[in-house]
Amino acid sequence: MIKTLPPGCQKLLEAKCRSGLTFEAIAKKVGRDEVWVAALFYGQAQPSKDDINTLAALLNLSAETLVEDFVFSGLPTRGGLIETNTRDPVLYRFFEIFQNYGVPLKAILQEKFGDGIMSAVNFKMHVDKVPTPKGDRVKITLDGAFLPYKPW
């Protein structure tokens, strides 16, 4: 699924593994949402220098090296982790969400639940319209049973 991760992402994932910290624990220390943190670790977000300094201290990495890996290497390459061929704008946006956040979400699900999947059969979904002063927002809730993979 993931062809190649940038060097900074590889360093972050290796350091995370060594530390034993979850994305949720790292997010609390960094002051960001855990999905954003996971997206950063998989090359789908751009950290600030403050984020880099906090991550470097937390994960025992060189801040200078991470700055080079993230800040000076250009913008993140968002999307492209999963291929799509749809042309419908609404459907494409759903694919875009999963291009950017699918792999990070999968990693978070595995951390929280173990090796398995969210059921699309034992499943509920709800769509809400959320009025805000800047314009309406879409809120989609996905609620599926967790199905662990079982060894045979």
Residue 141's pLDDT band (boundaries 50, 70, 90)? very high
Query: Please, what is the average pLDDT of the chain?
Result: 88
Residue 83's pLDDT band (boundaries 50, 70, 90)? low
Catalytic residue among 19, 64, 93, 137: 93
Amino acid at site 22? T
Query: What per-residue confidence (pLDDT) applies to 43?
Result: 84
Query: What per-residue confidence (pLDDT) applies to 103?
Result: 87
67-87 average pLDDT score: 68
Longest CA span, the chain: 54
First to last CA, the chain: 24
Q: Which residue ranges form the domains of the chain, and what is each CATH number?
A: 1-114 (1.10.260.40), 115-152 (3.30.1160.10)
What confidence tens digit (pLDDT) does each residue in 12-38 have?
999 999 999 999 999 999 999 999 999
18 carries an active-site annotation: no
Catalytic residue among 14, 48, 119, 137: 119
Query: What per-residue confidence (pLDDT) applies to 49?
Result: 87
Catalytic residue among 24, 68, 96, 111: 96
Query: What per-residue confidence (pLDDT) applies to 12?
Result: 93
CB-CB contact of 7 with 72 (8 Å): no
Secondary structure in 3-state letters for the chain: CCCCCCHHHHHHHHHHHHHCCCHHHHHHHHCCCHHHHHHHHCCCCCCCHHHHHHHHHHHCCCHHHHHHHHCCCCCCCCCCCCCCCCCCHHHHHHHHHHHHHHHHHHHHHHHHHCCEEEEEEEEEEEEEEECCCCCCEEEEEEEEEEEECCCC
66-79 average pLDDT score: 70
- The tokens describing 131, both together, are 């009025």
